[in-house]
C-alpha cells in the first residue's frame, strides 16, 4: 500500500513540475510603439525592463497565464494585472486620467 501511495504522489508531483515548466517558458513582449512595433523586450520575469523602462506602448502577454506589471523597477509602485495582450497601453487607465502608456518598469 505504501508503494502505491508513493507512486501516486510522485506522478502528481511530476505533473505539477511539468506544467510549471511549460508556463515558465511563456514570455511577455513589450513594444516601444503601439500595434506591436518598434524595439522590443522579451522576458518571463523582469525586475527591471532595461532599455524599455517607461517606453512600452504595447504588450503581448501569453495566453497561458497573467502577469503583474509595475510602474517602478523592483516590482514597486502602482501595478496592473494583465491576462491578455494590448496593442495600445493607452487604453489601460492608470490614475488621474492617465494611462499605462510609457509607465512599465518591471513585471512578474
- Residue 57: the pLDDT is 98
Contacts of 51 (CB under 8 A, 6+ apart): 39, 41
pLDDT at 64 over 50: yes
- Give the chain's mean pLDDT: 84
Least confident of 10-19, 35-44, 98-107: 10-19
**What is the average pLDDT across 41-64?**
97
Contacts of 57 (CB under 8 A, 6+ apart): 31, 32, 33, 34, 38, 88, 89, 90, 101, 102
pLDDT digits (tens, 9 = 90+) for 65-85: 999 999 999 999 999 999 999
Q: What is the set of domains in the chain, with CATH numbers?
A: 25-107 (2.60.20.10)
Residue 3 DSSP code: H
pTM strictly above 0.85: no
Amino acid at each position: 500500500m505504501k508503494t502505491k501511495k508513493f507512486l501516486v504522489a510522485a506522478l502528481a508531483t511530476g505533473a505539477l513540475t511539468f506544467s510549471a515548466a511549460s508556463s515558465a517558458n511563456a514570455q511577455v513582449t513589450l513594444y516601444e510603439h503601439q500595434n506591436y512595433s518598434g524595439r522590443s523586450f522579451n522576458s518571463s520575469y523582469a525586475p527591471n525592463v532595461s532599455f524599455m523602462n517607461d517606453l512600452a506602448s504595447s504588450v503581448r502577454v501569453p495566453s497561458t497565464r497573467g502577469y503583474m506589471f509595475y510602474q517602478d523597477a523592483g516590482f514597486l509602485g502602482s501595478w496592473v494585472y494583465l491576462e491578455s495582450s494590448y496593442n495600445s497601453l493607452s487604453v489601460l487607465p492608470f490614475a488621474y486620467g492617465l494611462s499605462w502608456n510609457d509607465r512599465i518598469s518591471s513585471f512578474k
